[in-house]
Amino acid sequence: MPETTLAELAHEVRSKNAGPFWVTMELFLRDERGYRIAADESFLNEGVIAVLYRVEESTVQLFRIPALNVVKISFPRPVSQGSLRDRDIHAGQHHVPLARMVVPPVS
């Protein structure tokens, strides 16, 4: 059976700057089923994001918005926007590891 990713459950997975020091990512899920999977704290939580993006768990902020089937995630940028070591000035590629996450099988 092929694996399903978060990207396949979503209309859109995107990332963007939230100021020069923060990144925000948003999962716009297609339906309530996809939202339930993505919003499940045992699947997607601050610890998972911390490992995936190599940031401190205590700095990760997760917002679940069931009325919109949206999960929003914010964390500090590893380097400030536009600094010498910044490889993605608009934070437009940060969403890729999140989008590629394989969701657990639904029974």
The whole-model pTM stands at: 0.87
Question: pLDDT digit string (tens) for 53-79?
Answer: 999 999 999 999 999 999 999 999 877
Q: How far is CA 100 from CA 6, 10, 40, 64, 94, in A?
A: 6, 11, 17, 19, 11
State which residues of the chain have pLDDT below 50: none
* CA distances (Å), origin 81, targets 15, 19, 20, 29, 61: 14, 8, 5, 28, 19
Nearest residue to 22 via CA among 65, 68, 63, 78: 78
Task: Report the pLDDT value the prediction gives residue 66, as an integer from 0 to 100.
Answer: 97
